[in-house]
Amino acid sequence: MDFSISEEQQQFRDAVSKFAKNELNNNVVERDHEEVFDWQGWNKCGEFGLLGLPVPEQYGGQNADIVTCVLAMQSLGSACEDAGLLFALNSHIWTCCIPILQFGSEEQKQNYLPALSSGSKIGGHAMTEPNAGSDAYAITTTAVKDGEYYVLNGTKVFTSNAPIADVLLIFASTDKDKGFAGISAFLVDTEREGISVGKPLAKTGLRTSPTGEVVLENCRVPVSSRLGAEGAGSAIFNAEMEWERSCLFASHLGSMERQLEECVQYAKDRQQFGKSIGEFQAISSKIADMKVRIELAQLILYKVAWMKGNGKRAQLESAIAKLFTSESYVQSSLDAVQIHGGYGCMREFGVERNLRDSLASRVYSGTSEIQRNTIASWLGI
Ligand SMILES: Cc1cc2nc3c(=O)[nH]c(=O)nc-3n(C[C@H](O)[C@H](O)[C@H](O)COP(=O)(O)OP(=O)(O)OC[C@H]3O[C@@H](n4cnc5c(N)ncnc54)[C@H](O)[C@@H]3O)c2cc1C
């Protein structure tokens, strides 16, 4: 296993960091409070080439390998304080661009990928329903074939990017009797008749990333909008989750690195009882634990990237990476608040925002409990 980074990857990582520091951090405190999506930042990410990072150049992307994607997301997480913008960007790439790239027809790739890569179109995916979250394959949204069309009916919840999306990958059952093998995926333009998207839901964290409900009422989509074969929905979902569990969580790793830097600086600067608080072992131990979590999260995330880059599946390893990184992110965010004392609880310092932003990481892309179930099942339990 070789985790060394090429000079080209190093330069790209540095360029991403510089770009994010200069362009993506305006008014984050206010936008978080007012739940405002950064359209300007989004367009700049498109111009920089981040929105189609793994997409081949022929479809308008950068053709970046997965290790480069992980490094870029880590760098973004470290340099960009707007975790909501990064969450929107990650949903767009891993749950819309990647499935089109991996499972789409040539026509679907040409139709969608150039616009998604430039950012002129925004994508997302909708699996979760009011009564089907962790039990994703219990979805009740149906797609019934009617000649050259499918008719979609059902309700999706918690869909990232839904209020701003132009296209959503919708999962629906085409054959209830087959359970997970009867689930199919459809690319549905949000302008289409029969699909309506709710207002952004108010969230604890990631407040600059719009999340919403999607309602399908006799929404007719042409057969050509089905992604992959009928019944391929669960394979598509699993494949995109492997990407998301490595690349999205690499941006969380980057956030943890920024958090650590801030905590080290604060522990050196803040004086109590005539010395810097970093001299108290209770504080320095927290900082040491934050560093350990970062190193271990980085190792497992890089391992997943290395495996996928070498053509291997990484279902077990991506579950471990997702579980460990999200739990670490929340614990380190709690520690950061504690290290900052009262200042850590004040909105203007951003420390409490990191904690709020981290919370949902234990829930999306499969909860921590579900990751543990997956890991145990790989061990035959
Ligand atoms: C910010 C955010 C963004 C999201 N974006 C998207 C998106 O873009 N598209 C999308 O489709 N979904 C999205 N989701 C939904 C997310 O995938 C679900 O919330 C998640 O899968 C959990 O489902 P649930 O909320 O229904 O919780 P439930 O499944 O009801 O779980 C409730 C609790 O029970 C536990 N539990 C459930 N089953 C088991 C079990 N078998 N063993 C042990 N414990 C169990 C869970 O771990 C959890 O602690 C998003 C969620 C959030 C918070």
Alpha helices in 311-360 (DSSP H): 315-344, 351-359
- CATH 2.40.110.10 domain locations along the chain: 124-231
Q: How far is CA 8 from the centre of its chain?
A: 25
**Complete DSSP assignment for 154-203:** EEEEEEETGGG-SEEEEEEES-GGGGGGGEEEEEEETTSTTEEE-PPPP-
**Ligand 1 neighbour 310 (Cβ under 6 A):** no
pLDDT tens by residue, 358-381 = 999 999 999 999 999 999 999 999
pTM to 2 decimal places: 0.97
CA-based end-to-end distance of the chain: 29
SS3 211: strand
Which residue ranges does the chain devote to CATH 1.10.540.10? 7-122
Q: How far apart are CA 67 and CA 242, in angstroms?
A: 14
In short, whether 134's Cβ falls inside 6 Å of ligand 1 is yes
Q: pLDDT digit string (tens) for 209-261?
A: 999 999 999 999 999 999 999 999 999 999 999 999 999 999 999 999 999 99
- Does 66 sit in the ligand 1 pocket, CB within 6 Å? no
Best CATH choice for the domain 234-378 from the list 1.10.10.60, 1.20.140.10, 3.40.50.740, 3.40.50.300: 1.20.140.10
Report the alpha-carbon distance of residue 177 to residue 115 in Å, rounded. 37
DSSP state of 225: G
For residues 122 and 161, give the distance between their C-alpha atoms in angstroms, rounded to a whole number.
8
CA 366 to ligand 1 center in whole angstroms: 6
For residues 250 and 224, what is the distance between their CA atoms, to the nearest angstrom?
Answer: 34
User: Is the domain defined by 7-122 classed in CATH 3.90.105.10?
Assistant: no
**pLDDT in the model for residue 2:** 78
Give the integer Cα–Cα distance in Å for 319 and 329. 15
Looking at the chain, the domain(s) classified CATH 1.20.140.10 span 234-378
Mutate to test the pocket of ligand 1, among 157, 167, 367 (most ligand atoms within 8 A of CB): 367
> Counting beta carbons within 10 angstroms of the beta carbon of residue 291, is it exposed (0 to 12), middle (13 to 18) or buried (19 or more)?
middle
Measured CA to CA, the distance from residue 209 to residue 357 in angstroms comes to: 10
Residue 362 Cβ contacting ligand 1 at under 6 Å: no
The answer to whether the beta carbons of residues 315 and 220 sit under 8 Å apart is no
Tens digits of per-residue pLDDT, 318-340? 999 999 999 999 999 999 999 99
Question: Between 2.40.110.10, 3.30.470.10, 3.30.70.20, 3.20.20.80, what CATH number should domain 124-231 receive?
Answer: 2.40.110.10
pLDDT at 4: 86
